Structure 1
Amino acid sequence: MTKKIIVAIDGLSSCGKSTMARELAREVGYAYIDTGAMYRAVTLYALRHALLSPDGAVDAAALERRMGEIDITFRVNPATGRSETHLNGQNVEADIRGMEVSALVSRVSALPFVRRALVAQQQAMGREKGLVMDGRDIGTVVFPQAELKVFVTASDEVRAQRRVDELRAKGTDVSMEEVLRNVRERDRLDMERAESPLRRAEDAIELDNTHLTIEGQRERLLQLFRQATEAE
């Protein structure tokens, strides 16, 4: 009998962490939590309530007072079989993926009170194990005890091109230059923030998917998962 574990997938922005984590969870029958979507949902809330300006200025005191009003849940879309993000009961999966939220999410996610609130929710979700979670600090802060930690990387240009392709497929016209700047700025903010900065856990396995196919990623993750869940 295989044991249930927690799989922590961290890494750089736009390197396919969510797709990898979601597919692994589906393959092995685990729950999947996209923590990046949680920070994006808080960012969207702040934008909608005039607590965050387009230039990145955050009314942190007001946002902290209103954190209790922010309810983030994940529900499976019956039509696609994929988990989607809901903010206070509304499906915001499309809204949180646009460039406006992408450009500002690192500002919001750097706020200590936001991270503390969401980390507590994430840890509660993993009490029973059998969970795949991706983000920036899963293996270092949320679940440092996770049995399998993977840190995903890819070149700046490849990550930007993937993001451009994703946005254009959804009907959003963006330039490669704009997205590449956004990818690099998010990396800088994520790595330099004081609270839970992005870094590779010492016991994490690095997976550079610059030249890997989706199938190649899937095979590598499944191999790592099987090794981690072998009965002792």
Structure 2
Amino acid sequence: MTGPLVIAIDGPSAAGKGTLARRLATHFGLPHLDTGLLYRVVGLRSHRTGRPPAEIAAGLDVPDLTDPELRTDAAGQQASKVAILPDVRANLLNFQRKFASQASGAVLDGRDVGTVICPEAPVKLFVTASSEARAERRYQELRERGVDTIKPRVLAEMAERDRRDSERAAAPLRAAPDAFLLDTSDMDADAAFAAALAFIERKGFRSSGP
């Protein structure tokens, strides 16, 4: 296969797309962008400062994505709120497309990478899992971080975020028609990686490493 390898990975939260994206980026030696962090930065900064989300989105750069608080559930909830705003999405579009256009290729994961950001990407994956499996993963993750919560609350918050992401007018969460559907409900990270890698290799791409 000729041309740069651009891997577009979409899916709901806690389906495993971030872990998969990082492993694929390492395997193929590609830069990786978690596009959800962009919305987390915008949501958190707008919440903290009261500045318009679109204004914040217009001035973001890669170093802005290193704040540890971006990985918290609170940041995720704020991200989902600003992600429904068309002007925010428009202001972040060029940033994401520029990242994807690197000569080396790239791996991007999010919720509209294969449908809006990189519709021409040669490899598209849609990573999903049952609500119960995703809630259990998020619950265990929160417990490991010392966050006091209960499974019903985690499931309810996840359902609300899924609703916002799938029903928003601007770039709703959905699989691209030509995306490879990867259901990780009964998979661990190694199995998900193996399935994704097999699909990518069937498309004609191979790692240049050992």
TM-score for the superposition, normalised by structure 1: 0.82
Q: Which residue of 2 aligns with 1:82?
A: none
Local SS of the residue matching 2:203: helix
Q: Which amino acid aligns with 2:125?
A: V
**Contact 2:44–2:78 (Cα < 8 Å) also in 1:** no
Q: Which residue of 1 aligns with 2:20?
A: 20
Task: For 1:20-39, list aligned pairs within 5 A.
Answer: 20-39=20-39
**Contact 1:9–1:150 (Cα < 8 Å) also in 2:** yes
**Cα deviation, residue 71, structure 1:** 2.4
**Cα deviation, residue 27, structure 1:** 1.0
Query: Of residues 148, 151, 160 in structure 2, which corresponds to 1:176?
Result: 151
- How big is each residue's C-alpha offset from its partner over 1:198-222, in whole Å with a ceiling of 9 and x where there is no partner? 1111111100000012111111111
**Contact 2:124–2:178 (Cα < 8 Å) also in 1:** yes
Q: Which residue of 2 aligns with 1:140?
A: 115
Task: For 1:34-45, list aligned pairs within 5 A.
Answer: 34-45=34-45
Distance 1:153 1:141 in 2: 18
Residues 1:26 and 1:45: Cα distance change in structure 2 (over 3 Å): same
Distance 1:230 1:3 in 2: 10
Query: Of residues 187, 190, 197 in structure 2, which corresponds to 1:215?
Result: 190
- How big is each residue's C-alpha offset from its partner over 1:111-148, in whole Å with a ceiling of 9 and x where there is no partner? 11111111210001111352111000001000000101
RMSD of equivalent CA atoms: 1.8
Distance 2:137 2:126 in 1: 18
Residues 1:3 and 1:67: Cα distance change in structure 2 (over 3 Å): closer
Q: Which residue of 2 aligns with 1:54?
A: none
Q: Which residue of 2 aligns with 1:72?
A: 61
Task: For 1:1-232, list aligned pairs within 5 A.
Answer: 3-51=3-51, 62-68=52-58, 70-73=59-62, 86-87=64-65, 91-92=66-67, 94-129=68-103, 130-230=105-205
**Cα deviation, residue 13, structure 1:** 1.6
**Cα deviation, residue 66, structure 1:** 4.2
Local SS of the residue matching 1:30: coil
**Contact 1:5–1:229 (Cα < 8 Å) also in 2:** no
**Which ranges in structure 1 are unaligned for 5 or more consecutive residues?**
52-61, 75-85
Q: Which amino acid aligns with 1:170?
A: R
Distance 2:2 2:188 in 1: 28
Distance 1:192 1:176 in 2: 24
Local SS of the residue matching 1:9: strand
Residues 1:104 and 1:128: Cα distance change in structure 2 (over 3 Å): closer
Local SS of the residue matching 1:229: coil
Q: Which protein has the bigger strand share?
A: 1
**Contact 1:35–1:133 (Cα < 8 Å) also in 2:** yes
Local SS of the residue matching 2:62: strand
Q: Which protein has the bigger helix share?
A: 2
How many positions carry a matched residue from both structures?
Answer: 205
Distance 2:107 2:57 in 1: 25
TM-score for the superposition, normalised by structure 2: 0.90
Distance 2:56 2:40 in 1: 16
Local SS of the residue matching 1:207: strand
**Which ranges in structure 2 are unaligned for 5 or more consecutive residues?**
none
**Cα deviation, residue 14, structure 1:** 1.4
